[in-house]
Chains A and B, each alone.
Chain A
């Protein structure tokens, strides 16, 4: 009977894989375009595929292409990549609290696949996150990213203009689809998302910070401010009861 209560790795893998389908759909147009741009920037198909295989970070890969075409040095490109991707530190720290696995090696290997999208899907999951679930989630997302990058270079064209434009909404729609169910359940979630959105809009429109830092700072400010407000409220409530 105990077996029923414990989620088996195979089931968890399948659940993760299913949760990753919307990521795979969303990655397809972005990766196809990346492959195409990489070709026009002068990367070989091997280099294009290698970058998607080893880096697996959309924004940073796009930025590296535009820096390459500007003739920027390698060191500066690597440094920019680091700054753009430092936000994943925050995401991994948050996910670590929810991800149950005593084997650090599993987490260490799978952490390679933490992106904005895989993090978001895993982090809003109702149940605890397991390594089997992460493996399923990451494997479908990663496959879509790598295969479509290569295809974009190989075919040398992206999707038809209209479809390409419409599909650019995919990942944002996915974020909305992940966020709204929690917003319906809790006012705190509404405030957290709205405050972070406001901060990020301000940072972005004023060009105060680069995209990577803007997201990190907006997220942290919102998460800390709302937590402090809640703590104060809880204390006041506690005093009223005395």
Chain B
């Protein structure tokens, strides 16, 4: 292992860990204002929206690939499928699609 690479990895590890850790230390035992708590409760759902779009549309050069995968996942999830079933179902649909084209 080159020492330069190890330093780089150590640096990357540190700057990745700090933002993950800091909130637990900063806000320990603190009651945040009501509006801030409300916003923080919204964060998971907003994050999911931003994580899904537009990323899912660009998983392949063929935009239909992403659209089809997104559609399959939404339908399966809407019908009440378990998360793992949603994941495996979307993979299966896209496998069939890429086999056909």
Contacts and interface: CB of A to CB of B under 8 A. Distances in A.
A78 B78 contact: no
For the side of the interface on B, what is the size category? 35 or more
B43 A163 contact: no
A193 B6 contact: no
A71 interface: no
B4, B46, B60, B98, most chain A CB atoms within 10 A:
B46
B24 A107 contact: yes
A205 B53 CA distance: 11
A43 interface: yes
Contact of A120 (B44, B77, B87): B44
Contact of B84 (A22, A55, A175, A215): A22
A51 B53 CA distance: 28
A57 interface: yes
Interface residues of A, number: 95
B40 interface: yes
A219 B43 contact: yes
Contact of A112 (B17, B25, B55, B90): B17
B1 A47 contact: yes
Interface in B40-72: 40-56, 59-60, 65-66, 69-70, 72
A223 B42 contact: yes
Given A55-B9, A223-B43, A104 B28 contact: yes
A227 B83 contact: no
Contacts of A107: 24
B46 A170 contact: no
B78 A180 contact: yes
Interface string B12-24: 1101110111111
Nearest to B58: A204
Contact of A177 (B1, B11, B23, B87): B87
Nearest to A83: B15
Nearest to B4: A74
Interface in A66-96: 74-75, 77-79, 81-82, 85-96
Interface string B60-101: 100001100110111011101111111111111011001100
Contacts of A167: 91
A104 B32 CA distance: 17
Q: Give 9 nearest A-B pairs by CB, closest first.
A: A193-B49, A177-B86, A123-B44, A180-B77, A223-B42, A169-B69, A197-B53, A196-B49, A54-B13
Given A74-B8, A197-B53, 12 more contacts: A47-B5, A54-B9, A79-B15, A88-B19, A119-B47, A169-B59, A172-B90, A173-B89, A177-B82, A177-B86, A196-B48, A222-B49
Interface of B: 1-2, 4-13, 15-17, 19-25, 27-28, 32, 35, 37-56, 59-60, 65-66, 69-70, 72-74, 76-78, 80-92, 94-95, 98-99
Interface of A: 19, 21-22, 25-26, 43-44, 46-47, 50-51, 54-57, 60-61, 64, 74-75, 77-79, 81-82, 85-97, 104, 107-108, 111-112, 114, 116, 119-120, 123-124, 162-163, 165-170, 172-182, 184, 188-189, 192-201, 204-205, 214-215, 218-220, 222-224, 226-227, 230-231
